């Protein structure tokens, strides 16, 4: 057998061996190029997915911020906040709309469209807040209870009396603005969330593994909420099994 193999190999002349070598070398080069291109495509795909995830997280962060603001304003007296000078129209506006819009546009065309609608709604909400602040300021000035007087004589006018004065003098207008601000702020949070979900990356099921030695109480509550549905499902299953 070995003799036959040696005989077959020695039957090739040098030029034939050269041709075989060139063919093998070319095949190796093609194989290396294909493998390199496949690796490059995988790396590029991973980078694209990371960028899409970053854009989605940015949209969710803005949603959580506005949603938290809506929760706060649902419980708070907006007239009192206005009297205190802490009801700011810019609160409902993103710190950098170009960054938010770029992130939403990256997710999908639909996300970008809803983001532009959210921009309009945010500015409308900010105008309502400015209108409420203007009404509050005008009523206080008309009754000589100005912010300047309060600053000069802190004991002369309380915030409660200013709130009462505003509501007595313009209760219907103030009540309508408060209702509009609360409703529009909540809807703005939902709209940004809907915009972020218009992407295939939002439908991916993710398993979040947090460290158990977290120090922040707020962080612990946030993590507990991500685990809550699973915990409830397990609790329900245990009870059904016992019964």
| Domains of the chain, residue spans | 56-200
Let me know: does 94 contact 69? Beta carbons within 8 Å: no
Q: Which residue has the higher pLDDT, 155 or 91?
A: 91
Highest average pLDDT, of 49-53, 117-121, 222-226, 236-240, comes from 117-121
pLDDT of residue 234: 32
Question: What sign does the CA torsion over 76, 78, 79, 81 have?
Answer: positive
Residue among 155, 123, 161 at smallest CA distance from 143: 161
> Tens digits of per-residue pLDDT, 36-61?
777 887 878 778 888 888 888 899 89
Least-confidence region, from 17-21, 74-78, 116-120: 17-21
- Percent over 70 (pLDDT), the chain: 78
- Per-residue pLDDT at 26: 76
DSSP letter assigned to residue 52? H
Number of H helices, E strands in the chain: 8, 0
3-state secondary structure string, 155-211?
Answer: CCCCHHHHHHHHHHHHHHHHHHHHHHHHHHHHHHHHHHHHHHCCCHHHHCCCCCCCC
Q: Which residue has the tokens 């940004």?
A: 192
Enumerate long-range contacts of 157-164, CB under 8 Å, 24 or more apart. Answer: 159/80, 159/83, 159/84, 162/83, 163/77, 163/79, 163/80, 163/83
- Name which residue leads in pLDDT, 26 or 17: 26
- Asked if pLDDT for residue 156 goes beyond 70, the answer is no
How confident is residue 223, by pLDDT bands cut at 50, 70 and 90? confident
Q: Is 212 helix (H, G, I), strand (E, B) or coil?
A: coil
Question: What confidence score (pLDDT) does residue 143 get?
Answer: 64
- Helices 14-75 & 159-196 angle (0-180, nearest 10): 150
**By the 8 A CB rule, do 80 and 163 touch?**
yes
65 within 8 A of 205, measured Cβ to Cβ? no
* pLDDT at position 172 over 60: yes
Give Cα 235 to chain centroid, integer Å: 31
- When pLDDT is cut at 50, 70 and 90, the band that residue 1 belongs to is low
The confidence score (pLDDT) of residue 144 equals 54
């Amino acid at each position: 057998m070995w003799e036959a193999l040696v005989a077959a190999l020695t039957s090739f002349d040098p030029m034939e061996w050269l041709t075989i070598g060139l063919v093998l070398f070319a095949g190796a080069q093609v194989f290396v190029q294909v493998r390199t291109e496949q690796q490059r495509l995988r790396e590029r795909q991973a980078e694209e997915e990371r960028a899409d995830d970053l854009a989605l997280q940015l949209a969710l962060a803005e949603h959580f911020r506005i949603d938290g603001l809506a929760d706060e304003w649902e419980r708070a007296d907006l007239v009192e906040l206005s009297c205190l000078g802490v009801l700011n129209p810019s609160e409902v506006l993103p710190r950098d709309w170009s960054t938010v819009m770029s992130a939403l546009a990256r997710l999908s065309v639909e996300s970008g469209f809803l983001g532009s609608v959210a921009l309009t709604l945010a500015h409308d909400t900010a105008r309502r807040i400015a209108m409420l602040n203007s009404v509050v300021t005008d009523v206080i000035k008309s009754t000589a209870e100005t912010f300047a007087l309060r600053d000069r004589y802190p004991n002369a006018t309380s915030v409660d009396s200013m709130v009462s004065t505003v509501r007595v003098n313009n209760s219907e207008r103030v009540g309508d603005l408060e209702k509009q601000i609360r409703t529009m702020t909540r809807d703005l949070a939902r709209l940004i969330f809907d915009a972020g979900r218009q992407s295939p990356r939002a439908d991916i099921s993710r398993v979040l593994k947090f460290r158990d030695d977290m120090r922040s109480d707020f962080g612990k509550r946030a993590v507990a909420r991500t685990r809550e549905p699973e915990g409830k499902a397990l609790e329900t299953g245990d009870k059904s099994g016992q019964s």
